[in-house]
Amino acid sequence: MKKFIALLLAFLLACTCLAGCGIKALTHAEYENAALDSEVTVETYVQATQSWWDGKITAYCQSEDGAYFIYNMTCAEADAAKLVPGTKIQVTGFKSEWSGEVEITDAKFKIVKGDNFIAQPVDVTELLGTDELIGHQNEKVSFTGMTVEPSDDEGAAFLYNWDGSGEDGSDLYFNLSKDGQTYSFVVESYLCGAGTEVYEAVKALSVGDKVDLEGFLYWYEGSQPHVTSLTVTEKAPALDKDVVVLFTNDVHCGVAEEGAIGYSGLAAYKKSMEADNYVILADAGDFAQGGPIGTFSKGQYLVDIMNYLGYDVATPGNHEFDYGLDNFFALTEKAEFPLVSANFIDLSDNSAVLDAYKMFDFNGIKIAFVGISTPETFVTSTPTYFQNDAGEFVYSFCQDDDGSGVYAAVQAAVDAAREEGAKYVIAIGHLGDELSSSPWTSGEVINNTTGIDAFIDGHSHSVIDEEGVKNADGESVLWAQTGTKLTAFGKLVIGMDGNLSLSLISDYTEKDADTDAFIADIQSSYEADLEKVVAHTDYDLEINMPGTDPAVRIVRCMETNLADLVADAYRTVGEADICITNAGGIRATIPAGDITYNNILTTSPFGNTVCVIEATGQQIVDALEMGARSVPDEVGGFL
């Protein structure tokens, strides 16, 4: 009997010991209330695992009542293969926290036989940016209707590693937006590495794509979901062909100059580009004046030719105004392309005279051309054209002492174009790079604005092909000008890959016969008048430094024989003691031999009016000093 009682007591003691040694799993609510660094035991279900490495595995787990991130759990390699989604496990480890991420570390596990559980993702899109989102930490979640945003300043849709320092196989970081707010997401390479469907899907993203996605709500210094699947619901617009922008500036009636490309060469090149590219033809001003074809027609023939070539956009140069405002507006009506200017203002109501920009759309990609006119138009054309009968200016080009008016007008136009959806903004300005044009040079406008991708320039007749002009944010802007008289034209390519490239074409020899015939027909109407001989010279009458290519216009910084002859002619006609004329009005050298009416019109194309006034000696000295203010640099105001 005693022996039986002793055995019974031993059995009960053993049962009590076993019961006391049993480990009770915490509910998720109890786990949340447990202190950090305390030992915890939970029962949960595997949803996904990261790669096994050196006897450790990391698992994303979830039960009906909540989720867990189990970091570097001890696991034999053979057991890692058993941790398939839905597997129930009991985990014992320490509750830890790292930069906001609550996790179980230093854990061990055992598989619990029985039921399994696969969590369905919870759509938490509307919780982004709110305090409620953290309540879903480590859960399987989804996001819908997100838009891919640039991940760096270069516009990349994703980065290898958070700073772009990685390579294929590294973590993929990318940004998505919703309702104007942008959030960071990551494809964690140990979870979904290179070659997985989601990894390749992210690599194929384009900025602007609309996506839905799923993953685990990892938390590191805020929400940073580990994405496990991604579906593109709407592809962003993308170019299906390159966009080729062909551009001209300061043609000055040089429609078919000997040795130049001319409009027929440009037409031939344009046709060669149109088969495989979208083509835009643009002009940066001063096309209507500068030769007999302009003088005889007050610019109308030039617009006819530009319509024939199919120009798409232009900005007015100062010499488009040389025939008066009524004629200028007649030219804009005749043009089958818009003339744009962000800073040409009617002061009667402070309204823009012309549209600030022209928007083009190619396969959903919008490209804006913002026009900019030089405030020097007032003095390089005829000031009275812009005044009322009382001599008050009724038009403005946003001129001021420091350039801020022009910069602000341009920035407002660029911002408006971007707001309308322009992916690329091209400035098309008649500003130039001469010191005398400051503070309104093209370089200064670039330096004091943002959002311009490329600047097509005119006015100074410079040959420019630059790629590194910095804007107000220190970003590089392409910048080009082609010289004058169609000796060259520009080519800006916006590639399907989003890259921009710039070049000047000066050696193209093909001609378009139809364009040649069209121009010849116009020229025939006044050729007989041009051939009339009116004088003779035994010497070349120069405006350029002999032998220079491109020509150095010395008439704009020193005395020349042609400028002396012109001034003497004006003095004689005006019966004056002295004559002052500006160098910018003397446009072409006259070679030795007979001088024709064509030479006269080509040399002095602007229809200037001789004005006789009385002036003091000091006023004359002041005028000469003003004209010489930029010597030895060129300036059209040199006297």
pLDDT band at 2 (very low <50, low <70, confident <90, very high): very low
- Of 69-83, 163-177, 200-214, 376-390, least confident by mean pLDDT is 376-390
In this prediction, residues 239-265 reach a mean pLDDT of 96
Residue 629 pLDDT: 86
**Cα distance between residue 48 and residue 191, in whole Å:** 8
Distance in Å from the first CA to the final CA of the chain = 137
In this prediction, residues 595-609 reach a mean pLDDT of 79
More reliable by pLDDT, 600 or 34? 34
| Edge-to-edge strands, sheet with 476-482 | 357-362, 365-373, 422-430, 454-456, 476-482, 463-470
**Cα distance between residue 482 and residue 285, in whole Å:** 12
In this prediction, residues 493-520 reach a mean pLDDT of 95
For the chain, what is the radius of gyration of the CA atoms? 38
pLDDT band at 171 (very low <50, low <70, confident <90, very high): very high
Residue 58 pLDDT: 97
- Of 81-85, 353-357, 573-577, least confident by mean pLDDT is 573-577
Residue 22 pLDDT: 55
Residue type, 165: S
DSSP H helices in 381-469: 404-419, 442-447
In this prediction, residues 561-581 reach a mean pLDDT of 88
Average pLDDT, the chain: 92
Question: What DSSP letter does each residue of 48-70 carry, written as one string?
Answer: EEPPPBTTEEEEEEEETTEEEEE
What percent of the chain is modeled with pLDDT above 90? 74
Give tens-digit pLDDT for 375-422.
Answer: 999 887 788 889 998 889 899 999 999 999 999 999 999 999 999 999
**Residue appearing with tokens 């000047």:** 504
Highest mean pLDDT among 226-235, 252-261, 546-555: 226-235
Query: What are residue 338's phi and psi, to 5 degrees?
Result: -80, 140
**Residue appearing with tokens 């009416």:** 597
* Residue 381: CB atoms within 10 Å: 22
Judge whether residue 18 has pLDDT over 60. Answer: no
Q: What's the whole-model pTM score?
A: 0.71
In this prediction, residues 157-172 reach a mean pLDDT of 96
Q: 173: which residues sit within 8 A by CB, 6+ positions away?
A: 151, 158, 159, 160, 161, 162, 184, 185, 186
Residue 20 pLDDT: 37
Q: 263: which residues sit within 8 A by CB, 6+ positions away?
A: 251, 255, 256, 305, 309, 486, 515, 519
**Cα distance between residue 352 and residue 41, in whole Å:** 72
pLDDT band at 21 (very low <50, low <70, confident <90, very high): very low
Judge whether residue 133 has pLDDT over 50. Answer: yes
Residue 607 pLDDT: 66
In this prediction, residues 482-490 reach a mean pLDDT of 96
Judge whether residue 530 has pLDDT over 90. Answer: no
Q: Taking the mean position of all CA atoms in its chain, how far away is CA 55?
A: 51
pLDDT band at 29 (very low <50, low <70, confident <90, very high): very high
Give tens-digit pLDDT for 279-328.
Answer: 999 999 999 998 889 988 999 999 999 999 999 999 999 999 999 999 99
Judge whether residue 331 has pLDDT over 60. Answer: yes
Give tens-digit pLDDT for 446-459.
Answer: 999 999 999 999 99
- Of 141-150, 204-213, 279-288, 627-636, least confident by mean pLDDT is 627-636
Residue 10 pLDDT: 39
pLDDT band at 600 (very low <50, low <70, confident <90, very high): confident
